[in-house]
A and B are shown apart, each in its own frame.
Chain A
């Protein structure tokens, strides 16, 4: 089955700095890669996603890049703010009837210091 590795496990930055979280996946059939933000005790919230036919996607301060050959994808947050502090999870899945069957990375605790 799919295996997703996420690094780093913790990330501490100063407000205004950029943050980068990286993930690798094992199954070359995976074609959907979402990123979630989860606050303590809350449900995961989708912040951005990318499909395998796209190499990069950006939404305001958040961007995701995908390298299919190397089987890795990254989350980039620019101009970080204290409210960005949370746990971030990457995930991977493949389509068809298995769509929605996500394999998650281990998570990254992001702390943005004012």
Chain B
């Protein structure tokens, strides 16, 4: 199947700093990628839909100025958590589809810990 890779797999940062997470589709082009957040022992919640060449679409309750999404190419989407705080500590997972009604592929996830 198609491969989606995330980097970094884990990151620890100080409160108030910004952190960038990358999501790459390694062997296919993804015009659309999705960013999910998963708190410990909870389900995955969709944060935003990342569209190549255009602005991301954010779900209700997700601050677009805090979670900056850039999808500058067909193989890369980035999520930047700005001015991170301890409550932003979570597992962030991206996903991408190959186009059409195919399987959705998930990245390995990035665990963010804000001290």
Interface of A with B (CB < 8 Å)? 1, 32, 34, 41-46, 49, 51, 89, 95, 97, 99-107
For the complex, give the distance between the alpha carbons of A100 and B60 in Å: 17
User: Is the CB–CB distance between B46 and A43 below 8 Å?
Assistant: no
Binds A, one of B12-20, B62-70, B71-79, B103-111: B103-111
Q: Whole-angstrom distance from the CB of A77 to the nearest CB of chain B?
A: 19
If A42-B108, A43-B106, A44-B106 touch, whether A100 touches B32 (CB-CB below 8 Å) is yes
Residues of B within 8 A of A89 (CB): 43-44
Which DSSP category, helix, strand, loop or mixed, fits chain B's interface? strand
For the complex, give the distance between the alpha carbons of A107 and B46 in Å: 15
B24: interface (CB < 8 Å): no
Which DSSP category, helix, strand, loop or mixed, fits chain A's interface? loop
B4 closest partner in A (C-beta): A43
Residues of B within 8 A of A34 (CB): 104
Residues of B within 8 A of A107 (CB): 42-43
If A42-B109, A43-B93, A43-B109 touch, whether A102 touches B104 (CB-CB below 8 Å) is yes
* Cross-interface CB contact of A103 among B42, B46, B97, B101, cutoff 8 Å: B46
User: Is the CB–CB distance between B43 and A105 below 8 Å?
Assistant: yes
For the complex, give the distance between the alpha carbons of A95 and B101 in Å: 7
Enumerate the 8 nearest inter-chain pairs by beta-carbon distance, A residue then B residue, closest first: A100-B97, A43-B106, A104-B43, A104-B44, A100-B104, A106-B43, A107-B43, A43-B108
Name the residue in B32, B44, B100, B107 with the highest tally of chain A Cβ atoms < 10 Å from its Cβ.
Answer: B44
* Cross-interface CB contact of A46 among B42, B60, B103, B108, cutoff 8 Å: B103
Residues of B within 8 A of A49 (CB): 103
